[in-house]
Amino acid sequence: MKKEKYPYILNETTARFDFESKGPNGTVKKTVDYYKIGRWIDGSQVYNLAFGDWDENNNVINDLSRTDNNDRDKILATVASTVIDMVAAMEHIAIYAEGSTPARTRLYQIAINNNKKEIEGILNIYGYIDEKWQLFESGKNYEAFLVTRKKV
């Protein structure tokens, strides 16, 4: 993606990406973690995208925290970049994403919609609505999202 993003470090053995958000509330460690949850209709392995602030005390992702570092778009671009890296590294996978709250799911949808043309150049985007998956369409409110690598 062409948007400004943070540099990140990939832990290749765990499919985990770490980066730091920097802004008026200081530096906050963020983590994007991918783990297997099932299979997609084409047989691809589905990975869940877990994202949030890294809680050093409990060694977990806090997906409900609010950093308010005025860098939301940069953070979303960074997370999107990790998705692209994952599908580039592992050809036959699908990435599942759902916000930890309805408002966060809506934020993801807005980000996908705002970058749809660029995303669709490299990924197939699906939305979950009415208890089924369909190709992503603007103007619909999805409960979750899934992307796969476009076949060339």
The domain spans of the chain are: 9-149
Is 1 a residue whose pLDDT tops 60?
A: no
Q: Which of 143, 111, 137, 105 is nearest to 124 (CA)?
A: 137
Is 48 a residue whose pLDDT tops 90?
A: yes
- Mean pLDDT, residues 38-56: 94
pLDDT score recorded for residue 28: 96
Share of the chain above pLDDT 90, in %: 79
Residue 118 CB neighbours (<10 A): 13
- Mean pLDDT, residues 85-113: 93
- Mean pLDDT, residues 22-27: 95
Tens-place pLDDT, residues 116-146:
999 999 999 999 999 999 999 999 999 999 9
